[in-house]
Homo-oligomer: A and B are copies of this chain.
Amino acid sequence: MITLDTDRINSFLGESAPGEPNRETVLRAHAQLKSGSGPGSSFLGWRDLLLDPNDALLEDIVSTAARVRQNADVLVCVGIGGSYLGARAVISALTPYLEESDEKTEILFAGHHMSGAYMQELLAYLEGKSVFVNVISKSGTTLEPALAFRFLRDWLERNFEDADDRVIVTTDPEKGALNALRSDHPYKKYVIPPDVGGRFSVLTPVGLLPIAVAGVDIRSLFYGARAMCTDLEAVSTDGYHPALAYAELRSRLYARGYTIEALAVFEPKLSDFAGWWQQLYGESEGKDKKGIFPVGVQYSTDLHSLGQYMQDGRRQLLETFLMVRLDKSTIRVAKDSDNLDGLNYLAGKAYSEINLRAYEGTSEAHEDGGLPNMTIWLDQLTPAAIGELIYFFEHAVAVSGYLLGVNPFDQPGVEAYKKAMFRLLGRPE
C-alpha cells in the first residue's frame, strides 16, 4: 500500500485558481492515458505489459539469471539512461549495502559514460575473473554503450573460449547493430518492446535481468507493479488515487512558481531510486521550455549540505519525501554508564525510530520555512512495494505531462548533443 500525506502542502495551495490543474483536469488526463488517446500513445507498452503479463518471459529471465549467478563472478551491464538507471535503483533498494560473499555475482555498470580511466581500470579489475556481459541498447548505436561493448567483447573473446555464451543482448526485436552482431555470434537475446521508451523499461528484460542476477524476486516486483496498475485502472471519473493526487499537487505548485522538485529520502538505499525518478520526470516533462527540474536528495546527509538552501534560500522548490514506514533493522540505543555524549535520553529507542523523527522534524521545519512538502509512504522495502512505486511514478508522470501540455513519451532534445558530437568525431553519414 502506498499512501500520500499532504498535510504540509495544503497551506500553500488553498482553493484551486482558475486555469490551474484540478481534480477534473487530472481525471481527464487519467482517462486519456487509460484510453490511449493522448499524445505519444504509441508508447504505452509499459502499461500493456502489466495488464497482460508474460509469465513465460519472467521464467526465462529467472533461469538465465540463475545461469549467470552460477557461472559469473561479475556481470557487467552495459547501458545508458533508462538502460541502467532502473536496474540500479531496484538493486540498491533491495540488496545489502556491504556484502562479502564469494558466491555472489558482483554487478558492475559500464557504457553509461566515456571515461577512459574507468574502462581501463575496469578491464584490469576483470582480469582473472569469470565475466558475463549484458549489453542493453535498442539501436545498438548509442555511442556510450556501443563503445564500451566493443572493448568488453574484445576482452571476452581474448579471455574465454565460450565468449559467445557469456554475452546477453537486450535490444530491438529485429533492427540495430546488436542484431547485426548476432548474425556472427549466437548471443542469448531479450527483446525491448518497441512501444516502451527507455525510462519506462525497468519492468522489461532491460531491468529485470540484472535485477534477477542481483537476487531480487522479479515476480514479486513485477506483480507489485501490476497491482498498482490494476488499482489505477479501476479509478474512473468518480474516484481518486494517491498517484493522481501527487500529479495534481506538483502540477499546481509548478503553476505557482515552484519550478524545482526535490525527491528526498532518509534511507540511502533509496538514493538510486531518486536517480531513476529524475530521469523519468526530467525527460518526460522537460521540453518546450517547460517542466519541473527534478533533483534527488539524501537526508539527513544533505540537510548538512543543501539544507540551508532548502530552509531559507530562494523559494523555488517543492519537496516530496519518499519514506518507508517499517525498517527491518533491529538495533536500539543502549544506555551508557557515563553518558559523556549526552545521548542517554535516547536509550531504548530504535535507530530507525530516531530517523523517522528526523524526517518529521524536517518536514515541519521546511513547511515553516516556506517549502511545501508532501510524503509518499511505503510500508516496507520489499520487491512488491518497489514494484508498486515504479508504476505509481510512471502513471503519475504521464498524467503530469498531459496536465503540462507536453508529450511525456518523447525526448527529442537528447539528440542535440549526439548530433554535435558525431559531427566532431567525423562519423560517416
A interface residues (Cβ-Cβ under 8 A, vs B): 80-82, 85, 96-100, 108, 112-123, 125, 140-141, 143-144, 146-147, 149-151, 154, 177, 180-181, 183-184, 198, 259-260, 266-269, 275, 278-279, 282-283, 285-295, 298-301, 303-317, 327-331, 333-334, 336, 338, 340-343, 345-346, 349-352, 354-355, 357-358, 360-362, 364-366, 368-370, 411-414, 416-428
Contact = CB atoms under 8 A, between A and B. Distances in A.
A279 B306 contact: yes
Given A307-B417, A329-B120, A365-B416, A112 B343 contact: no
Contacts of A268: 113, 115, 118
A77 to B, nearest CB: 13
Contacts of A360: 420-421, 424
Closest 5 CB pairs of A and B: A286-B309, A81-B304, A286-B313, A361-B421, A311-B413
A343 B425 CA distance: 11
B331 A119 contact: yes
B120 A417 contact: no
B80 A354 contact: no
A289 B315 contact: yes
B114 A361 contact: no
B304 A146 contact: no
Given A267-B115, A268-B115, A283 B308 contact: yes
A291 B183 CA distance: 56
A144 to B, nearest CB: 6
Contacts of A315: 289
A292 B333 CA distance: 39
Contacts of A123: 331
A425 B256 CA distance: 35
Contact of A286 (B283, B303, B308, B420): B308
Give the residue among A181, A331, A412 with the most B Cβ atoms within 10 A. A331
A401 to B, nearest CB: 12
Contact of A115 (B290, B334, B355): B355
Contacts of A334: 150, 154
17 contacts: A97-B122, A98-B122, A112-B304, A114-B355, A115-B269, A115-B327, A116-B331, A141-B341, A150-B341, A151-B351, A279-B305, A283-B305, A293-B316, A293-B317, A345-B428, A360-B421, A366-B417
